[in-house]
Amino acid sequence: MVALRRAGFRTLPFVLLNASSPAVFRRIGCCLPIDIGSLRYGCPDHSAECVPGCQQVSHNQLMWVGGVHPPEDLRGCLNQSKPWLCHPDNVWCRRGFNEIILDRSRRGAWPLHQMVIAVGIAKNASSQELRLAREVHSAVLSSQLRVPLLSYDRHAHADSFAVLDPPWNVRAQDQ
C-alpha cells in the first residue's frame, strides 16, 4: 500500500463487508472511526492478545472520536465517521475514511462469499486508480465470488454508492 501511495495513488480499491455476517464479526479486531495510519502501529510487546493497529494509541486525532472501538461497538465506531465533513478539494482527510482491522491470526476459514458484498473505489478516482480497482474486481470475480464494483461518493448523504460494473460483467480483456 505504501508503494502505491508513493506511485501517486490517492485512493485505493476497498471491499464492502457484509455487516450481518457472523464470519465478518469473527474476524474484526477493532474499528477506528478515522484513518490514523494503523499500519504504523504494531505490537511492541509481541503479546498474543495484541492485534496490530488495535492497541490504544495516544493519538490526539482519536481522542475526540472515542478512541479505538472493540468489535462489539462497530456501529458506534462507524457513527463517528463523517466523511461529508471533508472538503471536496482536500486530497486527504482523516474523517473521509475509517479503518476496520481484520485479525488474520484468528483461526478458521475465511468464507469470502459470506463476508464480501462488493469491491469499491472513490468516485473521484483517477483513470489509473479506476484501472487498479477494475483489476482487483476482476481478481475477485476469477475466484468465483460474484460481487459488483461500486463507485463511492463520500460527500453524498444518500445514495453514496453507484454500480460501475455488475458482478456478471467480466470484460473480454479480463478473461
Residue-wise pLDDT for 50-66, tens only, equals 777 776 655 555 555 56
Entry field: residues in the chain:
175
Place of cell 502505491: 4
State the average pLDDT over residues 126-131.
92
Of the candidates 94, 90, 86, the one whose C-alpha atom is nearest the C-alpha of residue 60 is 94
State the average pLDDT over residues 76-96.
70
Supply the mean pLDDT for the chain.
78
pLDDT at 106: 66
State the average pLDDT over residues 36-40.
68
Spell out the domain ranges in the chain.
Answer: 1-21+106-175, 28-102
Give whole-number Cα distances, 45 to 59, 81, 170, in Å: 19, 30, 46
Percent of the chain with pLDDT over 70: 67
Task: Grade residue 151 by pLDDT with cuts at 50, 70 and 90.
Answer: very high
Comparing 129 with 19, the larger pLDDT belongs to 129
CA distance 53 to 36: 9
CA 63 to chain centre: 21
pLDDT at 172: 40
* pTM: predicted TM-score of the whole model, two decimal places: 0.70
CA distance 107 to 21: 17
